Amino acid sequence: MELLFNGLLLLVFGIVTWCVASEGAWGAGIILLCVVFSGLLAMNFFEPLAIGLDGMLPAGYADIVALCLLFTGFVSLLRVATEWIAPIDIELPAPVYQAGRWGFAVITGYVTMAFLLTALHTAPLPREFAGFKPERKNLLNMAAPDRQWLGFTQYVSEHALRNSVAGRRRVFDGLELRRFGRPNDTLWAAFPIRYATRRELISGAASSSSSGNTLSAGGGSSGGGSSSGPPKRGTGM
């Protein structure tokens, strides 16, 4: 299963890289910017949308649907906007053209793969599944694109939202650790911890419900199934 999971990640990376490279150096560079900005916007606005989708989707699906919906929507919107604003292609020397289109395409493929891997953290699946573990390097056991993307998101929010007067900063979903009066000493992303715990609680609730239904069907105790349902967003913290 781990081999299949890694194969799917590499397939996403390969398909996106090939498609973006076909746009040429100028087009690939624009798509890279669209993908990066779309990912950042989706990460910052998916939770309000997920709250609105909670009642319309099965329990646990709102977060991943909101993330992917916003990402694809922002990519499409930015792509149309850039084509309308700058419908041109800059002619470049052949070596620069080839290096540019493949370089931008590889980065775009990796960012897309990292974003989708991050979105998997929010899926209503067991805490560990098909070789995926929140604590491990999930790409060939060599790299952690999801944690790299979360670190990038945290870095951008930390610097873009810094208060220049008070010297304070805001970070995306981060836990700030302080040591003896030294502020802003260490930052940890709370995202994988929170959603790993949430998936564990959801799978535990589903397992308890299944056991309860089995006991009821067999004439066992009437207090089997869990009536509370899966935990709400953020209960893992």
pLDDT tens-digit readout, 67-119: 999 999 999 999 999 988 877 777 888 899 999 999 999 999 999 999 999 99
Mean pLDDT is highest, among 20-24, 86-90, 204-208, for 20-24
Neighbour-count burial for 120-145, b at 16+ CB within 10 Å, e otherwise: bbbbbbebeeebbebeeebbeeeebb
The whole domain housing 66 covers: 2-145
Residue count of the chain, please give it.
237
Question: Does residue 157 lie within any of the structural domains?
Answer: no
- Report pLDDT digits (tens) over 133-173: 877 788 888 888 988 998 888 888 776 655 544 555 555 66
Query: Which positions ≥6 away from 46 have C-beta within 8 Å?
Result: 63, 66, 67, 70
Question: Does residue 188 lie within any of the structural domains?
Answer: no
Question: Does residue 217 lie within any of the structural domains?
Answer: no
Extract the tokens encoding 6: 């890694």
User: In the predicted model, is pLDDT for residue 227 greater than 50?
Assistant: no
Question: Does residue 101 lie within any of the structural domains?
Answer: yes
Query: Which positions ≥6 away from 156 have C-beta within 8 Å?
Result: 40, 172
Question: Does residue 37 lie within any of the structural domains?
Answer: yes
The tally of domains found in the chain comes to: 1
Question: Does residue 41 lie within any of the structural domains?
Answer: yes
Question: Does residue 69 lie within any of the structural domains?
Answer: yes
Question: Of the given ranges (18-22, 143-147, 224-228), which has the lowest mean pLDDT?
Answer: 224-228
- At residue 135, the pLDDT reads 76
Which one-letter DSSP state was computed for residue 129?
B
Question: Does residue 182 lie within any of the structural domains?
Answer: no
- At residue 222, the pLDDT reads 34
User: In the predicted model, is pLDDT for residue 234 greater than 60?
Assistant: no
Q: What element of type H or E holds 176?
A: strand 174-179
